[in-house]
Structure 1
Amino acid sequence: MNPLRPLLVVFALLGQPALGQPEPVADQMYRPVNRAAAEVGRLLFWDPVLSGNRNISCGTCHHPRFGTGDGLSLGMGEGGIGLGPERVADPENMPEERIPRNAPALFNLGAREFTVLFHDGRIEVDPSRPGGFRTPLEGDMMQGFDTLLSAQTMFPVLSQDEMAGHYSENEVSRAVRQGRLTGKGGAWDLIAARVRAIPQYVEMLGAAYPDIAAGREADFTDISNAIAAFMEFEWRSDSSPFDAALRGETPLSGPAANGQALFYGDAGCADCHAGPFLTDHRFHAMGAPQIGPGKAARFERHARDVGRMRVTGRDEDAFAFRTPSLRNVALTAPYGHAGAHRTLPGFLADHGRADWAAYDRAQAVLPGLEGMDDWLTLDDPAETEAVKAALANPAPVLSDADIAALVAFLESLSDPVARSGRLGIPQAVPSGLPLDR
């Protein structure tokens, strides 16, 4: 037992900062938000007009009802109908495959310290690159994105399984397949042209960006910047019970206080989930079960996901994934890079051990998809051993009581303001297309 654990419990009960516990979140930790941009970004976020077939919005896979995720282990974008765990394959337009990674939550992405995004960190702030960001697109990367959060929006609209649609279905997907991304007639311009054709969007973008009001044509970066401003405003999260405890207002008590002591003590959670947003923004191999299609190039035939190694090419990064922020984690199930666990207790019981033989496959939330074998990697002993070999620091075994206490603490990170959002889902969008409400 950690000899400091009794002291940690006393700190928690007295509302004093525990050892290793962060300072309270403060305004200066966030970028300022252009409110006019956030207003138009709200409508664009919920408008299916940005998808190739005009049937999917950002909100389809990042819905507040599911903690700004989609409630699925692995999402179903193009070819899916319905919302959340009720989303199923459209028999008239079957998906080609599942989205290979779990939809990440959107909380606090306006905080300045978020300089790396996606499970593998494939985009990050890099002042040495044109435009200030490193992305897989390199020379094809557009310039004019205000933030990394803005830049990340250009990827889902290009993905045939997320928003673009499949080849020949629409002009956007055809442009993507032909490699026409930038310039007139490129995929991003085709999407921007749809927005420019709607007078309300032109007016609102002009209110947010004076040079558009002065006559400059709105382009995709303006759309992305507005959507990012909306996300930063809508899902800032710093008013949870945990925040009240950090500010010395109302200390955590009972099981939550015990879990707090565990989190910052014996369980070692804060080794990676550090700082005010409970992430070190680094990459760790923790042995989470790999389900679904994995991440493979079109010429490859496997279902593994080596995580950070796909970005860096370094063997030591195999099976490492970015430490997620735990803000509102109780709302964001399923858990893990492939969403293999539908419950926090189930995830905590398995976390950091790579014991795939003991994994309960009923933990996965996967709508049926004909022809998809979601267990290829789990059923391959060589894959299992490779993941175990990459696990540098196995997590401690937790008792049922420890898990219950940690869950109580993690529930204290839920923020009712961020859960519902500040602006909410609009009643309608300027395109007139139906919304996922």
Structure 2
Amino acid sequence: MFSLRAKLHACLICLALVTPAGAVELPDPLTLDDFIQFEPAQVKLGQLLFYDKILSGNRNIECATCHHQKFNGADGVSLGIGEGGAGLGEERTGGDGADRILERVPRNAPGLWNLGHKDVRFMFHDGRVEVSDDFGNGFRTPAWIFLPKGLNSLLAAQALFPMASEIEMAGQPGENPIGGAAYEGAHYVWPLVVERIRGIDAYVRMFVEAFDTVEDASDITIVEIANAIAAFEGTEYRNFDSPFDKYLEGDETALDDAQLRGMTLFYGKAGCSSCHSGPLMSDQSFRALALPPFGPGRTLLNDPIARDVGRMAVSDAPEDAYRFRVPFLRNVALTPPYGHNGAMPTLEAMVRHHFQPRESNAGWSGGMAILPPVAWLASGDFALRENKIENDRILSRIDIGLPHATDDEISDLVAFLNALTGETALKRPLGRPETVPSGLPVD
């Protein structure tokens, strides 16, 4: 007798012969060996740094503000409010007075799930931090040759850049020394952050305990700070005990009928696995989906239009215009809204968009965006959406083509995506600390 899983594999192989997208077999189960292992003392130290506003220029925002436990490693909104704001999620405000925000964060805050996997190659929606030997430090980043050596992971390289972003954490020139340094370049910011940490005795003791290379405050560098944050993120958001994971491990009863039908579609007729393949459920390529544009955009130098051209800004290749990184899918149901700009509020809306991107783009309205209200930005929030010429450019770059899907099939696909939620996903090992060594309030 063939097992249910064996029959499904046989079915998928048959589908591969007739599906243009090319069906693939189910991925191997994830194991702990697939992930970078971090020192527990560094994980604990990283937790405190992750929730400490001391890393921000004006001491008013932390890493966790946009990647909070409350929102499962994201922030629950389409485009976040960074430095200068107050509060969390949809309740976050744009601040007031001279310190109020100048614009929203131009892209959606991605979730952190399983980014400590050894095979992760890109960070950020445009992949501007990636594994590379080009500069002798292991990574290709906006800091080029100025990125320090000794970073323990791609996660550590990524952690360096939000604190050097004027909009996200640094603040504006004239507000504080870090904001001024950010205007010159990320590598001017990092020594200023280090000096703050060196001045807090409790942190110094923890760095001495966590790192063999640190004997006193003078030994602490931005490398140890980034490595500790990476240790926390890579451990705290490691999770692979979903019904789908259990199914991959041989439990044939782990998925219900709708989830099984959705899985068969995902890896077969629907063609989803042509991009969302492998153990991380992403081939880590960059695809143009024609999501409707809105928000401030991520403007290129000398570009007269406040838009977001995606991967092209990194690669300088015209064919990469409006392409964004294919996201990982485990625990995807826990981190709405979806897309590089959070245009789609629900999983169903995002799935439907994949099958009919032109129609979805045309039918999209600003009410679908989850944006904390900021009165002085309201007039510009959807100016990009109203730029028909730019939207037509976006529509001309669609590079996915999935077959027609019925309402029932979309429902089954959504059911399968919900089966990717880990049973322990809402029970993070460390969570949010009550206090941090700087004494600053914790979001």
Q: 1:35 aligns with which of 27, 34, 40?
A: 40
Q: 2:75 aligns with which of 70, 74, 83?
A: 70
Task: Tell me which residue corresponds to 2:358.
Answer: 354
Task: Tell me which residue corresponds to 1:320.
Answer: 323
| 1:258-407 paired onto structure 2 within 5 Å | 258-297=261-300, 299-351=302-354, 353-355=357-359, 356-369=361-374, 370-372=376-378, 373-407=380-414
| 1:64-213 paired onto structure 2 within 5 Å | 64-92=69-97, 93-177=99-183, 179=184, 181-182=186-187, 186-213=188-215
Q: Is the partner of 1:89 in helix, strand or coil? A: coil
Q: 1:225 aligns with which of 220, 224, 227?
A: 227
Task: Tell me which residue corresponds to 2:19.
Answer: none
Q: Which moves more between the two structures, 378-387 or 33-42? A: 378-387
Distance change in 2, residues 1:175/1:384 (3 Å)? closer
Structure 1 residue 286 displacement after superposition: 1.5
| Contact 1:64/1:420 (8 A) holds in 2 | no
Give the partner amino acid of 1:371: L
The answer as to 2:65 corresponding to 1:60 is yes
Structure 2: 5+ residue stretches without partners: 1-5, 13-22
Q: Is the partner of 2:322 in helix, strand or coil? A: coil
Find the aligned partners of 1:396 and 1:375 in 2 and give their Cα distance: 31
| Contact 1:234/1:418 (8 A) holds in 2 | no
Q: Is the partner of 1:192 in helix, strand or coil? A: helix
Task: Tell me which residue corresponds to 2:428.
Answer: 421
**Deviations for 1:229-250, whole angstroms, at most 9, x for unmatched residues?**
0111111011111111110124
Find the aligned partners of 1:151 and 1:88 in 2 and give their Cα distance: 29
Identity of aligned residues (%): 42
CA RMSD of aligned residues (A): 2.0
| Contact 1:287/1:351 (8 A) holds in 2 | no
Distance change in 2, residues 1:89/1:181 (3 Å)? closer
Q: 2:418 aligns with which of 406, 411, 416?
A: 411
Structure 1 residue 9 displacement after superposition: 9.4
Distance change in 2, residues 1:180/1:255 (3 Å)? closer
Could you state the TM-score of these two structures normalised by the residue count of structure 2? Answer: 0.91
Structure 1 residue 374 displacement after superposition: 2.2
**Deviations for 1:153-175, whole angstroms, at most 9, x for unmatched residues?**
11100111100011111121122
| 1:1-12 paired onto structure 2 within 5 Å | 8=8
Q: Which moves more between the two structures, 296-305 or 70-79? A: 296-305
Distance change in 2, residues 1:284/1:232 (3 Å)? same
Find the aligned partners of 1:220 and 1:289 in 2 and give their Cα distance: 38
Distance change in 2, residues 1:11/1:87 (3 Å)? farther
Distance change in 2, residues 1:181/1:390 (3 Å)? closer
Give the partner amino acid of 1:374: D
| Contact 1:277/1:325 (8 A) holds in 2 | yes
Find the aligned partners of 2:399 and 2:155 in 1 and give their Cα distance: 31
Give the partner amino acid of 2:27: P
**Deviations for 1:125-156, whole angstroms, at most 9, x for unmatched residues?**
11232211111221332223121110111110
| Contact 2:300/2:313 (8 A) holds in 1 | no
Task: Tell me which residue corresponds to 2:25.
Answer: 20
Task: Tell me which residue corresponds to 1:3.
Answer: none
Task: Tell me which residue corresponds to 2:243.
Answer: 241
Task: Tell me which residue corresponds to 2:16.
Answer: none
| Contact 1:8/1:265 (8 A) holds in 2 | no
Give the partner amino acid of 1:236: R
Find the aligned partners of 2:129 and 2:117 in 1 and give their Cα distance: 16
| Contact 1:48/1:57 (8 A) holds in 2 | yes
| Contact 2:204/2:216 (8 A) holds in 1 | no
| Contact 2:137/2:148 (8 A) holds in 1 | yes
| Contact 1:106/1:231 (8 A) holds in 2 | yes
Structure 1 residue 364 displacement after superposition: 0.5
Find the aligned partners of 1:359 and 1:193 in 2 and give their Cα distance: 47
Structure 1 residue 180 displacement after superposition: 6.0
Find the aligned partners of 1:324 and 1:128 in 2 and give their Cα distance: 25
Could you state the TM-score of these two structures normalised by the residue count of structure 1? Answer: 0.92
Q: Which moves more between the two structures, 144-153 or 52-61? A: 144-153
| Contact 2:204/2:217 (8 A) holds in 1 | no
Structure 1 residue 393 displacement after superposition: 2.8
**Deviations for 1:253-275, whole angstroms, at most 9, x for unmatched residues?**
12111111111112111110011
Structure 1 residue 298 displacement after superposition: 5.7
Distance change in 2, residues 1:421/1:11 (3 Å)? farther
Q: Which moves more between the two structures, 280-289 or 40-49? A: 280-289
| Contact 1:154/1:224 (8 A) holds in 2 | yes
Distance change in 2, residues 1:119/1:208 (3 Å)? same
Task: Tell me which residue corresponds to 1:15.
Answer: none
Structure 1 residue 215 displacement after superposition: 6.9
